[in-house]
Each structure stands twice: as structure tokens, then as C-alpha cells.
Amino acid sequence: MYGDKRVSVVLPAYNEESHIRTAVEDFLASGVVDEVVVVDNNSRDRTAEEARKTAARLVSEPAQGYGHALRRGLREAEGDLVILAEPDGTFIGRDVLKLLAYSEDFDMVCGTRTTRELIWEQANMGWFLRIGNWAVAKALQFLHDGPSLSDCGCTLRLIRRSALERIQGRLTVGGSHFLPEMVILALRDRLRVIEIPVNYRGRVGESKITGTMKGTLRTGFNMIALILRHRIAA
Ligand SMILES: Nc1nc2c(ncn2[C@@H]2O[C@H](COP(=O)(O)OP(=O)(O)O)[C@@H](O)[C@H]2O)c(=O)[nH]1
Ligand SMILES: [Mg+2]
């Protein structure tokens, strides 16, 4: 609980057997999380078995994709405040406290992983990814009249239930470029959005999006197309 608000954490998981258990325990150890929802996205490893050993609620999402997994988690979560994260060791459980502190003044609190002081040595955030994330975030900021944004791809974020209810039915992206759509829809609805620095560590297990240059570029181009499409449609 945070004050009188119930807190949910959503963890999308595609082949995350090596860290899913630790991740669930780490978020629960923050002391404020009431519910962890693990969305197993057709994992071929022991992700589901490992998740069952924890206090998390496990749901299976058959539609493959990062966006599909997160959207399912957003539908399943029951909290007043819903936090998206990843079970790969890149985020720190106690950082939810930073998101929660800002949730008192904002409808959506997005993390940014491009703050140099919080990028851990092993993190996959070299200069190309850092500048790329920053540049796409700036395009979103200027084209959609947002607050200062410096990362377009940070899963760690919080949304209030009232805001989620406003945008949920209009989320369309099932793939890896899902995140900017959430921000754009919130900004279009004049919801209060803020971005704050969070820790970004090295990953446990294999990266499926930004682990390769091809995956990174594909996701980046899809995000830019999405940002432009929404701008033209506005
Ligand atoms: N890429 C990808 N990730 C998925 C999928 N379903 C769930 N996920 C989860 O989404 C998160 C992001 O993927 P990840 O490999 O960490 O990408 P990275 O953060 O760019 O290294 C992880 O927690 C994955 O387990 C999917 O179909 N594709
Ligand atoms: Mg990751």
C-alpha cells in the first residue's frame, strides 16, 4: 500500500527463468507492493515454474510481443497505482518508491535510464542507445507538447488507475515499440506526465529487443513512425 492506494507491479516475461523469482521478491521487498502480476508470454524455458514459486499472480498471454504482454498486464492488474517493470535485473525494486512519491502529483510517472550517474557499469546503455533513446524522446516531447523527456524506452513507469481507464481502450501496439503510445495518449488527454531518473543495471539472461543493432534500429524506427502517425492524426 502507498497511503490508502493499492500498488500493482506488472512483469512481462519471455524466457526469463534465470531472474524472474529474484525480481518478484525484489519488488515485494520494497514493502509497498500489494500485487505482482507476471505475464508469461509463451516462454519456452522454466519461467512459469519459477514464477509459481513466488507470491506473484501468473497469467499467460498467447499473443507474442512486448506490447501484448504489457497490455495484458495492465488489464489484469487490480491496484489503484499500476507499475510496469521488467524481470531481468535491470531495474531495482526500491525505485518504485521514487515513482510513488511523484504519483501524488502526476497521473503517469515514467522512468528514464539515460541519467549517467544511474547507469551501472554492466548496463546495456552505451552512447548509441543513450543518444538514440534521448533523440526519440525529444521528438515525442516536441511533437506532442510533453514535459522534458530523455528516454523513449524505459519500461519502469507508473500509471494511476483513473488515467489507465482513460487510455487503455486506445492502446494498439503489440510489439516492442509499445511504450511511446502510452505517453502520447496520456498527453493527448491532458493527463499530467513526468519523467524521473531511475537506476539501470546490467541484465540477467538474453536481451530480446536492444541486444542487437538490428532489433534496436527496428524498434527505434517503429517508435518514430508511431510518434509521427499520432502527430498527423491529431
Ligand atoms: N522482446 C520481447 N520481450 C518480451 C516479449 N514478451 C515479453 N517480453 C518481456 O519484455 C521485456 C523487455 O525485453 P528485453 O529482452 O529485456 O529487452 P531490452 O530491455 O531491450 O533488453 C522483458 O522483460 C521480456 O521478458 C516478447 O514477445 N518480446
Ligand atoms: Mg530488459
pLDDT of residue 181: 98
Of 208, 214, 222, the residue with max ligand 1 atoms within 8 A of its CB, to mutate for a pocket test, comes to 208
Q: Tell me if 211 CB under 6 Å of ligand 1.
A: yes
CB 7 within 8 A of CB 96: yes
pLDDT of residue 86: 98
Overall average pLDDT of the 92-117 stretch: 97
Between the CA of 88 and the centroid of ligand 2 the distance, in Å, is 6
Q: Give the end-to-end CA distance of the chain in Å, rounded to a whole number.
A: 37
pLDDT of residue 234: 79
Give the closest residue (by CA) to ligand 1 atom 17: 209
Helix, strand, coil % over all residues of the chain, rounded to 5: 40, 15, 40
pLDDT of residue 227: 98
Give the closest residue (by CA) to ligand 1 atom 2: 66
Q: Tell me if 204 CB under 6 Å of ligand 1.
A: no
pLDDT of residue 67: 98
Q: Tell me if 93 CB under 6 Å of ligand 1.
A: no
Of 18, 46, 47, 66, the residue with max ligand 1 atoms within 8 A of its CB, to mutate for a pocket test, comes to 66
Between the CA of 66 and the centroid of ligand 1 the distance, in Å, is 6
Is the pLDDT assigned to residue 79 strictly greater than 90? yes
pLDDT digits (tens, 9 = 90+) for 202-221: 999 989 999 999 999 999 99
* pTM tops 0.85, yes or no: yes
- For ligand 2, a single-atom ion, the residues with CB < 5 A are 86, 88, 90
CB 79 within 8 A of CB 72: no
pLDDT digits (tens, 9 = 90+) for 19-75: 999 999 999 999 999 999 999 999 999 999 999 999 999 999 999 999 999 999 999
The span from the CA of 114 to the CA of 125, in Å, is: 8
